[in-house]
Amino acid sequence: MKLETELEKLLIKYKGRRRLMERPFLTYPYMNSENNFNAHHYLIFCCDVLGSILKYADDKKLGQVTMKFVTDDDMEKFNCSDKGNHEWIDWLAANGYENHVNDMFYRHVLFSAIKDFQSFMFESVTCAGKMKMSVAYALLRRPFKDALGIIEWLAVDKDAVIQNLEAENPFDLEITRERAKELTDKVQRKYGLNPQYDLRYKNKDTSTRFELIWDKALHMITTRASPSGKGELNFLFAGEKKLAELSDWYYKVAPLVMHYAVELIVELFESIAKPNEVTVGINYLNRMAHLNLIAPILTDSLVKEVETLLFCPQCGEQNEYKNRDIASHLQCGVLSCPKCKAEVDTRFYITEYESIKAVVE
Ligand SMILES: [Zn+2]
């Protein structure tokens, strides 16, 4: 009875946000504090943006590299090389096609790392939505440190990653705290993003500490940095109040890292996919409109104060929106054309504007 009342209250509050509301109610019957609802929705939106990017890359074969041989002789020699045992890769690298080989490895590692990041994040957020906080936190370690670390390394020095992959020493690829500091500094300088280094890597004795929670989430008994208390088995006897605290902190900090990760990944994806300016612009606005749900101070000036013209990708009609209106439509998951009634699904990376130039001309 209590749950039904809560759902009714939420339904009334979000009446009209039809697509936004479908998913949480169907999927998360143990929804935690209403205060965390927008952060939860933002995290799920980010997972879906990454998922749609991976599907697009797969459909368009962006993981593959097309190349032209300089001479027919080169093509013939390549065709004759042994395709097993990776001999063809060695032949390409030794005959002036090293850039193509490196580009091929780069794309393969990048999209694989994005997939790994997205898989762990989605499961973590799903668990957080159901208040399974020890599992939710345990699942954050690999994406926040390892997968994102490799993505950052690719973003600033992809050749080093490829070289170290070929070496046999796994230490060459380890994302140590020192290496993470160097890489995140470079990412910050190159892309102007905040990699949240302190949150992800800082020592266990600081106040912002995933490390401490990860230790307790992964081990039932801890003895060093934060020893289990008398009669305590980590997270095992956590009561309602403790779970609520863990949940609140999760929804406060996980979106910070997720926001950074998505912006970096989208940047790398767009440098490969090369979508047109309209697509880049509408997707940025879409991501900022969703971020506006949890960080209005950072995004209000962008999503609420500018007016813009947007073409319908189906009929080409120019619809004039105030960004305040666009933001609320984007957050609800759909942009509708008043003329032809076409709907653009905005719950993912939007690709409908790819042919906009053809429509305009
Ligand atoms: Zn239209």
Instruction: Please check the confidence at residue 114 and state whether its pLDDT lies above 90.
Output: yes
Return the pLDDT at 109: 94
Q: What is the mean pLDDT of the chain?
A: 82
**How many angstroms separate the alpha carbon of residue 342 from the centre of ligand 1?**
5
Return the pLDDT at 271: 96
Return the pLDDT at 205: 60
Residue 320's DSSP bridge partners are 309
Is there a contact between 44 and 125 (Cβ–Cβ < 8 Å)?
yes
| pLDDT (average), residues 151-166 | 91
**How many angstroms separate the alpha carbon of residue 310 from the centre of ligand 1?**
10
**How many angstroms separate the alpha carbon of residue 321 from the centre of ligand 1?**
14
The model's pLDDT over 20-69, given as tens digits with 9 standing for 90+, comes to 444 444 444 455 678 888 999 999 999 999 999 999 999 999 887 776 76
**How many angstroms separate the alpha carbon of residue 291 from the centre of ligand 1?**
27
Residue 43: which of 152, 149, 117 has the closest Cα?
117
Return the pLDDT at 12: 54
| pLDDT (average), residues 237-254 | 86
Which tokens is 248 given? 């609140």
Which tokens is 118 given? 């997205």
Return the pLDDT at 208: 58
Is pLDDT larger for residue 319 or for residue 355?
319
Residue 34: which of 65, 59, 7 has the closest Cα?
7
At 319, give phi and psi (nearest 5°): -105, 125
Instruction: Please check the confidence at residue 155 and state whether its pLDDT lies above 90.
Output: yes
pTM score, two decimals? 0.83
- CA 19 to CA 335: how far, in whole Å? 11
| pLDDT (average), residues 329-351 | 89
Is pLDDT larger for residue 29 or for residue 160?
160
**How many angstroms separate the alpha carbon of residue 23 from the centre of ligand 1?**
27
Tell me the one-letter amino acid at 192: G
Query: Within a 10 A sphere around the Cβ of 75, how many other Cβ atoms?
Result: 12
Give per-residue burial for 260-294: e unless 16+ CB within 10 Å, then b. Answer: bbbbbbbebbbeebebeebbbebbebbbbbbbbbb
Return the pLDDT at 1: 44
